[in-house]
């Protein structure tokens, strides 16, 4: 017996796009997907590529599996994630992206490592248990075992607010700087 509103669709090579005020905000593609109409869920698998457009900047996320929950307005993955934009490369053990009704989004990444190339050749490396990025700013907050390292020093802190465009630390809590 089939329950009402329990339609499930299997999709090959799907492309999914979201729009806000007639402008494309994000897109996702994969090899396959399952669209659960009754639960308002889309589960994309195999070579998933999610592109998020934020303030004229594109963020590309690559992972094995991605879950869209249309009721909660969220996208999640518990798989390894690679994130790239024009300012940094980042690897994570998973993420959650939530969007409010005004189109603002918050990206939370877990067990994160990142690298940032500088024009001067002085590369920055960082890691944290959690990174939170709000689409309305150029700052992400690194929480838990936060560390930023360059060729001359290392900062370890409980929390670091880092501007990834200017490559500056905005603030830190319970921090210790060591010269290397």
Q: Kindly give the confidence (pLDDT) of every residue in the chain, 180 residues in length, as a single tens digit, with 9 standing for 90 and above.
A: 344 556 899 999 999 887 766 665 788 999 999 999 999 999 999 999 999 877 677 889 999 999 999 888 889 999 999 998 877 889 999 999 887 777 677 889 999 998 877 665 668 899 999 999 887 788 899 999 999 998 888 999 999 999 888 888 899 999 898 987
Quote the pLDDT of residue 2.
41
- 3-state SS string over the chain? CCCCCCCEEEEECCEEEEEECCEEEEEEECCEEEEECCCCEEEEEEEEEEEEEECCEEEEEEEEEEEEECCCCEEEECCCEEEECCCCEEEECEEEEEECCCCCEEEEEEEEEEEECCCCCCCEEEEEEEEEEECCCCEEEEEEEEEEECCCEEEEEEEEEEECCCCEEEEEECCEEEEC
C-alpha triplet 81, 114, 72: angle, nearest 5°: 40
- The total of other beta-carbon atoms located within 10 Å of residue 117's CB is 12
Q: Which residues make Cβ contacts (< 8 Å) with residue 129, sequence separation at least 6? A: 110, 111, 112, 143, 144, 145, 146
Quote the pLDDT of residue 121.
63
pTM exceeds 0.85, yes or no = no
């Amino acid at each position: 017996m089939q329950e009402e509103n329990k339609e499930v669709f299997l999709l090959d090579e799907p492309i999914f796009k979201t729009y806000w005020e007639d402008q494309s905000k994000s897109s996702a593609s994969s090899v396959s997907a399952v669209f659960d109409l009754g639960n308002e869920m889309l589960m994309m698998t195999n070579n998933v590529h999610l592109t998020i457009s934020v303030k004229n900047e594109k963020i590309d996320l690559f992972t094995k599996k991605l879950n869209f929950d249309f009721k909660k307005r969220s996208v999640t993955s518990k798989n390894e994630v690679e994130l790239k934009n024009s300012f940094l490369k980042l690897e994570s053990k998973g993420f959650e992206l939530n969007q409010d009704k005004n189109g603002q989004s918050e990206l939370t990444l877990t067990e994160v490592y990142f690298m940032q190339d500088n024009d001067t050749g002085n590369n920055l490396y960082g890691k944290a248990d959690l990174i939170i990025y709000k689409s309305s700013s150029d700052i992400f907050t690194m929480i838990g075992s936060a560390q930023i390292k360059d060729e001359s020093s290392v900062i370890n802190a409980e929390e670091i607010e880092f501007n990834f465009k200017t490559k500056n630390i905005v603030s830190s809590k319970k921090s210790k700087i060591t010269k290397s």
